[in-house]
Amino acid sequence: MPNHIKQIDKVLDGTDQAQGYHGPLSPSGVKALKTAIAVMGAMIALCVIVIIGRVIYLASGTTSMEAGQLYSRTSPSVEFVLPTGAQVQNVSLNGERAIVTFRLHGQTKISIFNLHSGE
């Protein structure tokens, strides 16, 4: 039987016959507890370092496309043709499309326009 298994058996049964101690706090039991505490402390420290590093990475990193860059390739002015008398209520951008919500003669209508062509 390997030596480390014999030591575990001594700790589990509460005796350390080589030293004449009995109970869970025999010298081999204390050594095993100190080792377990050191390993757990090192694991906690490593996890905290990883978490702090990840937060710093996410906070300092830039996205692949900053705000405003998405539409910098489009023409600076795109004209949308709405019916005469239409009142624009909302404009939403979705990729290369503009979704315009407007009211005309008491009815709410939606038009979708391509930002490149204006159609």
Min mean pLDDT across 24-28, 58-62, 76-80 is at 76-80
Assess if residue 28 is contained within a domain: yes
Assess if residue 108 is contained within a domain: yes
pLDDT digits (tens, 9 = 90+) for 50-65: 999 999 988 887 655 5
11 and 56 assigned to the same domain: yes
56 and 94 assigned to the same domain: no
Question: What pLDDT shows up at residue 51?
Answer: 96
Question: What pLDDT shows up at residue 24?
Answer: 63
* Local confidence band at 102 (pLDDT 50, 70, 90 cut-offs): confident
33 and 79 assigned to the same domain: no
| 75 half-sphere exposure, CB direction, 13 A CA radius | 9
11 and 43 assigned to the same domain: yes
43 and 88 assigned to the same domain: no
Assess if residue 67 is contained within a domain: no
Tokens (6 digits) for 86 = 């239409």
Domain housing 78: 73-119
Contact between residue 100 and residue 113 where contact means Cβ atoms under 8 Å apart: yes
**What's the structural domain count of the chain?**
2
Assess if residue 114 is contained within a domain: yes
8 and 56 assigned to the same domain: yes
